């Protein structure tokens, strides 16, 4: 548990609570997508390290107490646990404390999706976030071990006299002093690169040059060096908030999937895409359900190894390889069986043996897993007002370039078709989906706000003075049934369509669960079985729904919904939670019971409602049957699952919870608002649910998109990834051939991440920028200097560059910026909304010198013998 210093006052102090209660609460939710990039993994590590530091500072700011003299405490005083080297956290902490003068902003990362090099960083960041662990050891891992001399397979490594003619070739290049740097660009300025290229090209050909076993060992070391979770783990996730990690891989052999058609009735296709999934959640009662713990270290290492298995460079990844590594290290892979059963279920159901599966780079078929992140965020619960962001890290973005449009030759065509073009997957379709999604969310919100006065009036007229009666479980049960019947009556024929849609959606949910539980072949087979059962027992067809709802007893479809409709219960609870979040902002100093007691009551009620949602999720989990269930046994299985879920008892449990909360409510006006929201949801759902098209849009939050790229972070130094980063050389393998290149990219990863995170914070809290509480440019300057000072002792190859960058950062606050500011008169940074739009940001530093076309195909030219 975090310790407090003696000179701090508790946040439970009424004056402190009253001050914070007047501020709007907001949660900046980040869903992070990490692209592939081979050796640019070093650059992405710098970015993810900054994200971890921001989230840790945000947690400290939330936990911070005020000093006895009323001033804000420091980052060190906010909490004793600081596993990382502390540098930029202090600045993020100060930024958030200043922002807190206008809005209480909390930063949370709850989704990570990664492919290839980005998948490695997503795995490590997810574990660090789940258990508040350190990434500091990874700096040495990337700088020392991500080198071609460390990665080469020992058996194929070049000996002294291996391919001696290649030695003479590279010796000639190293002696070519006059034109080497001009022709080779960054490659020619670094003798180490040519020496490592000589070693690489003289090693064994026509076999993977890099060692898969060595890579597995490195990934396992990376996971274990983050530290042990222990018996009393901390976390950077709020209680009840699920962290999802999704890592792409490519199953080389694939597995068969059956698809049902009209004619022929069934066809087979082979699926090669594979998603490795992990999650973490600490429930409201303190219990933890996690696949990121100490027992899962080898599972995470395997995911990192599989997703980054670049075709041809590494041998395909297999479970047996990790088994050998953990056996040699004497590591107990306790979570192996659960990992295999949960992540290879599709292979097992198709009759394939996961032990025989071979995985190559996840970026082969899904280099930009934005769609995975979009799917994951749509059902996330909110503790406060949410500013939802999808943030993708693009290490080497496309820029405007002129191409010679000659007919491509044979080798260029084959390479482009097999590698370059498939990896250059557009994200336009995903972004267009998000635009439609956001438009749909805005429409639903408009409907909710438009009908709220009518619903409140109808519930008030329906309940009358009974709403002022003492809270009682029996009354709530009766009121709930009455509200449901009146909603059906008042909606009239609109209720008929609503009821049919709801029945079909619940049947679809049951089919999805049944497919996994009963080990059916595919979703269509499961849906056919459930549909046949529904007609057989009378759930279908739905008759005159509005009339039947008034006499609900004995109506089959109503009985079915009461026993199986989990989503309705979750939607209702989240609707009440959303109303609670709105009530925080409506509290005033003259509220009965005072702001402090009212906020405490709302906090307690919201926490209890989240526990109820957790309970519903647990009830919705159907255990997998040991064998495939035959069709005649499906009805018995569904009956047993309905009894297991016990949703009618869950409804009564929520009524009891609300009644108990009402007895202790310090302000009966608050209790009245909660009851109206709870009972009125039946009216809202008739209008909103048909608009959702069965999708999980319970939170009704728009999703904004931001990019983190060196192209978008030009405050410190102007330039694109091709001008600033070194790992882009040699087809993104460049950083594997030089420590100086790795140091450069790691440093710019931290600098880039810091700048773009400040931009995102500025757009998430524009009122703090407008008021002057948040000085964006000064914050960037402090971050740059803190990072440069902290990394100077470790980046020994960049001493001159760090000195130069510090000289450039020092006079920031005295520069004159003439750009128009969309947030206010004092914002000298690129707003988050202009991500990737460099022309919209007028402040430019002089362009860096661009070398001439080179022999090796560098990022600065297109001519030469080596192209990619």
pLDDT for res 507: 92
> Per the structure block, which two tokens stand in for 39?
């050796």
Measured between alpha carbons, how far is 59 from 109 in angstroms, rounded to an integer? Answer: 12
Q: Where residue 824 falls among pLDDT bands split at 50, 70, 90?
A: very low
Residues 135, 146: Cα–Cα separation, whole Å: 16
**Is 699 contained in some domain?**
no
Inter-axis angle of helices 668-688 and 566-586, to 10 degrees? 130
pLDDT (mean) for 613-632: 77
Residue 156 binned pLDDT confidence (cut-offs 50, 70, 90) = confident
Residue-level pLDDT at 468: 77
- Answer yes or no: is pLDDT of 785 > 80: yes
> What is the tens place of the pLDDT at every residue in 540-564?
888 888 888 877 777 899 999 999 9
Instruction: Give CA–CA dist 664/669, Å, rounded.
Output: 13
Do residue 683 and residue 721 come from a single domain?
no
pLDDT of residue 214: 95
Question: CA–CA distance from 315 to each of 216, 249, 693 (Å)?
Answer: 11, 14, 44
How distant is the alpha carbon of residue 161 from its chain centre? 49
| Residue-averaged pLDDT of the chain | 81
Q: Are residues 715 and 680 in the same domain?
A: no
In terms of domains, do 259 and 319 share one? Answer: yes
- For a pLDDT cut of 90, what percent of the chain falls above it? 41
Q: Are residues 713 and 687 in the same domain?
A: no
361 is known as an active-site residue: yes
In a domain, 186, yes or no: no
Give the pLDDT band of residue 830 (cuts 50, 70, 90): very low
Among candidate residues 657, 692, 727, the one where a domain is terminated? 692
Predicted pLDDT of residue 99: 94
- Is the predicted pLDDT of residue 817 greater than 70, yes or no? no
pLDDT at 460: 83
pLDDT at 837 over 80: no
Give residue 207's pLDDT.
87
Residue 810 has pLDDT above 50, yes or no: yes
pLDDT at 851: 31
With CA atoms as reference, report the closest residue to 788 among 769, 807, 765: 807
Q: Which residue of the set 361, 387, 614, 698 is catalytic? A: 361
Work out the average pLDDT over 610-623.
84
Is residue 668 over pLDDT 90? no
Within a domain: residue 312? Answer: yes
Domain edge (last residue) among 662, 692, 722: 692
* C-alpha of 824 from chain center: 30
- Distances 416 to 410, 450, 592 between C-alpha atoms, Å: 10, 53, 70
What's the pLDDT at 166? 64
Q: Pick from 131, 136, 64, 132: which is nearest to 93 by CA?
A: 64
**Average confidence (pLDDT) over 130-146:** 94
pLDDT of residue 212: 94
Catalytic residue among 58, 65, 116, 598: 116
- Mean pLDDT is highest, among 547-556, 596-605, 669-678, 785-794, for 785-794
611 and 735 share one domain: no
- Looking at the fold, whether 759 and 829 belong to one and the same domain comes out as yes
- 293 is written with which tokens? 């713990």
Do residue 804 and residue 678 come from a single domain?
no
Radius of gyration for the chain, computed over Cα atoms and rounded to the nearest angstrom? 29
Does residue 768 share a domain with residue 676?
no
Report the C-alpha gap between 371 and 375 in whole angstroms.
6
pLDDT of residue 39: 93
pLDDT value for 79? 65
Could you report the per-residue pLDDT of 435-490, keeping only the tens digit for each?
888 888 888 888 888 888 888 888 888 877 777 777 888 888 988 988 888 888 88
Three-class secondary structure assignment of 351-381: CCCHHHCCEECHHHCCCCCHHHHHHHHCCCC
Is residue 255 situated within a structural domain?
A: yes
**Residue 163 domain flag:** no
Q: pLDDT by residue (tens digit) across 344-355?
A: 988 988 889 999
Range of the domain at 672: 436-692
Q: What is the pLDDT of residue 500?
A: 92
**Taking 90 as the threshold, does the pLDDT of residue 199 lie above it?**
no
Distance CA 797, CA 193 (A): 14
- Residue 593's pLDDT band (cuts 50, 70, 90): low
pLDDT at 167: 62
pLDDT tens across 236-275, in order? 998 888 999 999 999 999 998 888 787 888 888 899 999 9
Express each pLDDT in 72-111 by its tens digit. 688 877 764 566 689 999 999 999 999 998 888 999 999 9
Tell me if 237 is assigned to some domain: yes
Asked if 104 and 765 count as a contact pair (C-beta separation under 8 A), the reply is no
Specify the higher pLDDT residue, 433 or 22: 433
- What are the tens digits of pLDDT across the range 27-38? 999 999 999 889
Pair (342, 444) in one structural domain: no
Select from 643, 667, 692 the last residue of a domain: 692
Q: For residues 448 and 699, is the Cβ–Cβ distance under 8 A? A: no
pLDDT of residue 503: 93
CA distances from 629 to 517, 534, 620, 660 (A): 9, 18, 19, 43
- Measure the CA–CA gap between 201 and 667, rounded to whole angstroms: 76
Does 753 have pLDDT greater than 60? yes
Answer yes or no: is 412 within a domain: no
What domain count does the chain have? Answer: 2
Cβ neighbourhood burial of 327 (10 Å; 0-12, 13-18, 19+): exposed
Whether residue 389 is found in the same domain as residue 446: no
Q: Are residues 284 and 391 in the same domain?
A: yes
Q: What is the pLDDT of residue 820?
A: 33
> Is the per-residue pLDDT at 160 higher than 80?
no
CB 27 within 8 A of CB 386: yes
Whether the Cβ atoms of residue 104 and residue 383 lie closer than 8 Å to each other: no
Question: Is residue 409 included in any domain, yes or no?
Answer: no
pLDDT in tens, 790-804: 999 999 999 999 999
Q: How many angstroms separate the CA atoms of 777 and 813, rounded?
A: 7
Mean pLDDT, to the nearest integer, of 195-222?
87
Kindly give the residue spans of alpha helices, DSSP state H, lying in 689-830: 721-724, 729-732, 739-764, 766-771, 776-791, 799-809
pTM (two decimals): 0.82
pLDDT at site 829: 37
Q: 512 and 652: one domain?
A: yes
Whole-angstrom CA distances from 583 to 21, 85, 291, 578, 608 are 11, 40, 36, 9, 17
Highest mean pLDDT among 42-51, 603-612, 659-668, 833-842: 42-51
DSSP state of 260: E
Q: For residues 391 and 29, what is the distance between their CA atoms, to the nearest angstrom?
A: 10
């Amino acid at each position: 548990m975090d310790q407090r210093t003696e000179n701090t006052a508790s946040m439970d102090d009424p004056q402190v609570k009253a001050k914070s209660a007047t501020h709007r609460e907001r949660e900046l939710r980040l869903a992070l997508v990490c692209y592939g990039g081979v050796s640019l993994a070093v650059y992405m590590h710098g970015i993810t390290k900054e994200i971890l530091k921001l989230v840790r500072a945000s947690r400290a700011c939330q936990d911070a107490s005020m000093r006895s003299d009323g001033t804000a405490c420091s980052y060190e005083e906010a909490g004793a646990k600081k596993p990382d080297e502390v540098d930029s956290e202090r600045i993020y902490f100060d930024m958030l404390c200043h922002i807190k003068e206008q809005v209480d902003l909390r930063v949370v990362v709850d989704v990570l999706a990664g492919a290839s090099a980005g998948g490695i960083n997503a795995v490590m960041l997810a574990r660090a976030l789940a258990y508040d662990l350190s990434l500091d050891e990874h700096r040495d891992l990337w700088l020392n071990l991500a080198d071609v001399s460390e990665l080469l397979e020992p058996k194929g490594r070049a000996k002294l006299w291996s391919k001696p003619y290649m030695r003479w070739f590279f010796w000639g290049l190293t002696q070519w002093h006059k034109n080497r740097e001009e022709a080779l660009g960054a490659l020619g300025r670094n003798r180490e690169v040519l020496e490592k290229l000589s070693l690489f090209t003289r090693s064994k050909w026509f076999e993977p040059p890099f060692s898969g076993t060595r890579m597995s060992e490195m990934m396992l070391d990376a996971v274990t060096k983050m530290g042990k979770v222990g018996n009393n783990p901390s976390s950077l996730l709020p209680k009840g908030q699920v962290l999802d990690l999704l890592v792409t891989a490519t199953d080389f052999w694939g597995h068969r999937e059956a698809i049902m058609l009209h004619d022929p009735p069934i066809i087979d296709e082979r699926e090669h895409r594979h998603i490795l999934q992990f999650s973490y959640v600490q429930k409201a009662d303190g219990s933890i359900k996690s696949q990121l713990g100490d027992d899962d270290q080898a599972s995470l290492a395997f995911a990192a190894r599989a997703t980054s298995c670049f075709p041809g460079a590494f041998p395909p990844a297999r479970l047996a390889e990790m088994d050998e590594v953990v056996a040699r290290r004497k590591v107990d892979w306790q979570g192996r069986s659960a990992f295999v059963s949960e992540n290879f279920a599709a292979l097992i159901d198709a009759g394939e043996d996961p032990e025989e599966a071979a995985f190559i780079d996840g970026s082969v078929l899904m280099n930009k897993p934005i769609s995975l992140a979009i799917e994951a965020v749509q059902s996330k619960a909110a503790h406060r007002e949410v500013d939802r962001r999808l943030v993708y890290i693009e290490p080497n973005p496309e820029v405007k370039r002129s191409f010679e449009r000659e007919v491509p030759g044979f080798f260029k065509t084959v390479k482009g078709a097999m590698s370059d073009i498939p990896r250059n997957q557009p994200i336009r379709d995903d972004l267009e989906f998000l635009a439609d999604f956001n438009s749909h969310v805005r429409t639903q919100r408009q409907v909710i706000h438009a009908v709220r006065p009518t619903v409140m009036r109808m519930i008030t007229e329906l309940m009358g003075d009974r709403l002022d009666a003492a809270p009682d479980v029996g009354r709530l049960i009766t009121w709930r049934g009455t509200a449901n019947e009146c909603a059906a009556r008042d909606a009239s024929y609109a209720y008929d369509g609503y009821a049919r849609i709801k029945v079909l959606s619940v049947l679809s949910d049951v089919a999805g669960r049944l497919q996994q539980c009963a080990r059916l072949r595919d979703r269509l087979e499961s849906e056919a079985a459930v549909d046949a059962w529904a007609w057989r027992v009378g759930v279908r067809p739905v008759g005159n729904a509005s009339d039947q709802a008034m006499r609900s007893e004995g109506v089959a479809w109503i009985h079915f919904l009461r026993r199986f409709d989990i989503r309705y219960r979750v939607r209702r609870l989240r609707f009440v939670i959303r109303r609670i979040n709105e009530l925080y902002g409506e509290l005033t100093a003259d509220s009965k019971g005072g702001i402090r007691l009212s906020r405490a009551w709302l906090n307690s009620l919201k926490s209890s409602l989240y526990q109820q949602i957790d309970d519903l999720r647990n009830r919705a989990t159907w255990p997998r049957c040991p064998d495939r269930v035959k069709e005649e046994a499906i009805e018995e299985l569904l009956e047993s699952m309905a009894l297991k879920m016990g949703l009618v008892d869950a409804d009564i449990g929520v009524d009891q919870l609300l009644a108990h909360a009402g007895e202790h409510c310090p302000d009966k006006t608050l209790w009245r608002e909660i009851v109206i929201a709870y009972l009125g949801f039946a009216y809202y759902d008739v209008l909103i649910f048909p608009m959702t098209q069965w999708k999980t849009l319970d939170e009704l939050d728009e999703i904004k998109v931001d990019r983190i790229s060196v192209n978008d972070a030009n405050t410190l130094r102007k330039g694109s990834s091709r001008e600033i980063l070194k790992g882009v050389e040699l087809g993104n393998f460049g950083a594997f051939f030089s420590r100086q290149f790795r140091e450069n990219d790691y440093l710019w990863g931290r600098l880039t991440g810091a700048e773009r995170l400040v931009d995102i914070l500025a757009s998430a809290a524009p009122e703090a920028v407008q008021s002057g509480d948040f000085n964006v440019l000064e914050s960037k300057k402090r971050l740059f200097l803190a990072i440069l000072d902290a990394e100077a002792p470790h980046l020994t190859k960049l001493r001159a560059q760090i000195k130069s960058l510090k000289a450039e950062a020092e006079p920031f606050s005295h520069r004159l910026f003439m750009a128009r500011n969309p947030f206010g008169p004092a914002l000298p940074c690129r707003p988050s909304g202009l991500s990737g739009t460099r022309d919209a940001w007028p402040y430019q530093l002089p362009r860096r010198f661009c070398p001439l076309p080179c022999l090796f195909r560098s990022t600065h030219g297109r001519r030469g013998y080596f192209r990619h």
